[in-house]
């Protein structure tokens, strides 16, 4: 099936630092989705991207849909302890989504 490669696999950062993570695919996607999973909970949709080159913000989060349509980036500015969790990218295709393996973020106060 389709594969989405997320990097980095994990990050350990200090509170206040900015965070960048990305997701790449060998296939083209028409939509990119970013989810966050808090410890012990299900993933929650953060940002949806629908157009190549699109840059969308949601508070301290900014995501971009790559021009080639094969990648996407998520940035978090001025991280805080509640940013801790697993961040997943997803690409819908044929009625179901392929998810990346996730980036686990740890924020040290």
Partner 1 sequence: DVKVTQSSRYLVKRTGEKVFLECVQDMDHENMFWYRQDPGLGLRLIYFSYDVKMKEKGDIPEGYSVSREKKERFSLILESASTNQTSMYLCASRRYGYTFGSGTRLTVV
The 32-71 contact track toward partner 1, x by CB under 8 A, reads -x-x----xxxxxx--x-----------------------
Of the listed pieces 21-29, 60-68, 76-84, 95-103, which binds partner 1 according to CB under 8 A? 95-103
Q: Which of 11, 49, 74, 90 binds partner 1 (CB under 8 A)?
A: 90
What sign results for the dihedral spanned by CA atoms 94, 100, 101, 105?
negative
Strand extents, DSSP E, 41-95: 44-49, 55-58, 61-65, 71-76, 85-93
Q: Which of 33, 53, 44, 43 is nearest to 98 (CA)?
A: 33
CB of 5: closest distance to partner 1 in angstroms?
Answer: 11
């Amino acid at each position: 099936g389709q594969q989405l490669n997320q990097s980095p696999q994990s990050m350990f950062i200090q509170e206040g630092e900015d965070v960048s993570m990305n997701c790449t695919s060998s296939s083209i996607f028409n939509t990119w989705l970013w989810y966050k999973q808090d410890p012990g909970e299900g993933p929650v949709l953060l940002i949806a991207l629908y157009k190549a080159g699109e840059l969308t913000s949601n508070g301290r989060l900014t995501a971009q849909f790559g021009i080639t349509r094969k990648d996407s980036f998520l940035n978090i500015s001025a991280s805080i302890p509640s940013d801790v969790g697993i961040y997943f990218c997803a690409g819908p295709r044929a009625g179901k989504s392929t998810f990346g393996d996730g980036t686990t973020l740890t924020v040290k106060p």
